[in-house]
């Protein structure tokens, strides 16, 4: 097998592991284990908590002491054991801690996977900018494939999704050890933990436009995992009113349209950034989030299926125009000696703080509109329309404030960041 195909398989498995449970776990926790909204939100907040520090710490270990491919393999082997353990847990408190440990070992592997890919491609004389994206797209394909398998085999409400993910992690853990060696690079200048975390880039907060941008990045980051956490439970709630519809029978397949859309909207970013600039692109993203949640509020798997499908398609714009465009903006605005740290700060604010508080906050909103049995604590009903309208209202408030507080004039220089 050629080295590119080997990297394709590695990237495929990297996100196959995540896709096996990320979108479907909410339905399992809420429907099968009867977790509350806050408890489900807490599980998803583990992704943000782990992202605050673990990727940076693992990066330092790979930079200084352990081959990146070995650290990647070891992390997935530990993750495999933790996912298997999680499949046996029904207590919400214990489940939270097990999944936090799993997130602490999985979230760093996203960056480690990229590092291994970059080093191997560079050592073999390939152009990383040209040759990595076609390899990385197989990660998204792997994520979608795992979603479809879990759905079509009927595991979306079962702990078998975690067992399946565990087996996938075990496979990648072993496979990673067979990859070409990616030893630590002995740098003449030691990189501090603060620099790795992106915290030395906090000096950018002295610029008003960057301060406003990072604050809104945090608020938008809170929206990233909401439909991942509760989309499956929402579609499952139509089991009594729309039992024979596609959306109820195969909710994860329906939700996978969001990931498919994400891969397509990435291709449109250069055009929109060059034509409109970051301020308008961010506004488009915020409006897309309003529509994403609002269409969930008025759609259903029956006659309103087309509204849900439109929401899935819009997700690609909402996600990419914020995440990818925001990263390019940071790359363009940060000083050359601080670009890596600035990217770390962007991830810290969005996937760290934003995702952490978004998970908890979304769970509280869901619980506010949930009726439970006061004796058994069993969930009786959820007002999903009010829940989604609340999330849409949150995004709308951001959209109303952002254009007035974010002062930025579009300049052509950002095109160079995209073209190169």
The DSSP secondary structure of 139-181, one letter per residue, reads HHHHHHHHHHHHHHTT-TTSTHHHHHHHHHHHHHHHHHTTSPP
How many domains are contained in the chain?
2
What per-residue confidence (pLDDT) applies to 188?
Answer: 44
- Same domain for 210 and 280, yes or no, is yes
- Same domain for 161 and 248, yes or no, is no
pLDDT class for 417, splitting at 50, 70, 90? Answer: very low
- Same domain for 270 and 123, yes or no, is no
Has residue 92 been placed in a domain? yes
Q: Would you say residue 253 has pLDDT above 60?
A: yes
Listed residue (40, 93, 23, 87) closest to 361, CA to CA: 40
Residues 6+ apart with CB under 8 A from 11: 113, 117, 135, 136, 138, 139, 142
Task: Compute the distance between CA of residue 212 and CA of residue 196 in angstroms, rounded to an integer.
Answer: 23
- Same domain for 17 and 85, yes or no, is yes
Has residue 187 been placed in a domain? no
- Same domain for 153 and 220, yes or no, is no
Tell me what the mean pLDDT of segment 380-405 comes to. Answer: 94
Domain boundary among 152, 181, 210: 181
Has residue 205 been placed in a domain? yes
Task: Compute the distance between CA of residue 341 and CA of residue 205 in angstroms, rounded to an integer.
Answer: 13
Percent of the chain surpassing pLDDT 70: 92
Has residue 44 been placed in a domain? yes
What per-residue confidence (pLDDT) applies to 419?
Answer: 42
User: Which domain CATH number covers 173?
Assistant: 1.20.1250.20
Per the structure, the complete domain to which residue 230 belongs is given by: 200-420
- Same domain for 136 and 172, yes or no, is yes
Tell me what the mean pLDDT of segment 333-355 comes to. Answer: 77
8 Å CB contact between 223 and 358: yes
pLDDT tens digit sequence for 165-224: 999 999 999 999 999 998 886 554 555 556 655 566 778 888 888 999 999 999 998 888
- Same domain for 84 and 226, yes or no, is no
The continuous run of DSSP H or E covering 115 comes out as helix 92-123
HSE at residue 361, side-chain half, CA atoms within 13 A, is: 18
Listed residue (130, 86, 136) closest to 111, CA to CA: 136
Selected residue with higher pLDDT from 82 and 133: 82
Q: Would you say residue 414 has pLDDT above 80?
A: no
What per-residue confidence (pLDDT) applies to 418?
Answer: 40
Q: 241 vs 157, 236, 329, CA distance in Å?
A: 19, 10, 45
pTM value?
A: 0.82
pLDDT class for 276, splitting at 50, 70, 90? Answer: confident
Tell me what the mean pLDDT of segment 288-298 comes to. Answer: 96
């Amino acid at each position: 097998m050629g080295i590119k195909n080997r990297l394709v398989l590695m990237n495929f498995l990297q996100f196959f592991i995540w896709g096996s449970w990320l979108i479907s776990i909410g339905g399992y926790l809420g429907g099968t284990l009867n977790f509350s909204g806050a408890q489900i939100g807490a599980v998803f907040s583990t992704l943000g908590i782990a992202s605050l520090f673990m990727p940076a710490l693992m990066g330092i270990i790979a930079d200084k002491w352990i081959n990146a491919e070995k650290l990647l393999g070891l992390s997935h082997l530990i993750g495999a054991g933790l996912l298997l353990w999680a499949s046996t847990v029904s207590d919400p408190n214990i489940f939270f801690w097990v999944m936090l440990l799993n997130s602490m070992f999985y979230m760093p592997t996203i960056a480690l996977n990229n590092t291994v890919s970059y080093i191997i491609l560079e050592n073999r004389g390939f152009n990383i900018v040209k040759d990595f994206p076609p390899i990385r797209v197989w990660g998204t394909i792997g994520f979608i494939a795992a979603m479809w398998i879990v759905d079509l085999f009927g595991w979306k409400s079962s702990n078998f999704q975690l067992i399946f993910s565990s087996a996938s992690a075990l496979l990648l853990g072993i496979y990673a050890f067979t990859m070409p060696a990616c030893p630590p690079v002995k740098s003449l200048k030691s990189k501090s933990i603060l620099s790795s975390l992106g915290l030395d880039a906090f000096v950018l907060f002295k610029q008003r436009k960057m301060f406003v941008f990072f604050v809104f990045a945090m608020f938008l980051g809170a929206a990233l995992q909401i439909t991942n956490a509760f989309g499956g439970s929402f579609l499952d709630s139509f089991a009594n009113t729309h039992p024979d519809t596609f959306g109820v029978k195969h909710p994860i397949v329906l939700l996978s349209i969001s990931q498919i859309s994400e891969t397509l909207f990435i291709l449109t970013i250069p055009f929109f950034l060059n034509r409109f600039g970051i301020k308008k692109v961010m506004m488009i993203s915020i409006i897309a989030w309003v529509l994403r949640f609002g269409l969930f509020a008025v759609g259903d798997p029956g006659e309103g299926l087309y509204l849900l499908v439109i929401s899935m398609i819009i997700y690609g714009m909402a996600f990419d125009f914020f995440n990818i465009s925001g990263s390019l903006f940071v790359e363009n605005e940060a000083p050359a000696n601080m670009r890596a740290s600035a990217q770390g700060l962007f991830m810290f604010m969005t996937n760290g703080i934003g995702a952490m508080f978004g998970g908890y906050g979304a769970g509280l909103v869901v619980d506010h509109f949930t009726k439970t049995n006061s004796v058994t604590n069993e969930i009786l009903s959820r007002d999903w329309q009010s829940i989604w309208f609340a999330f849409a209202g949150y995004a709308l408030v951001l959209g109303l404030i952002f254009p007035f507080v974010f002062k930025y004039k579009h300049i052509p220089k950002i095109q160079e960041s995209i073209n190169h």
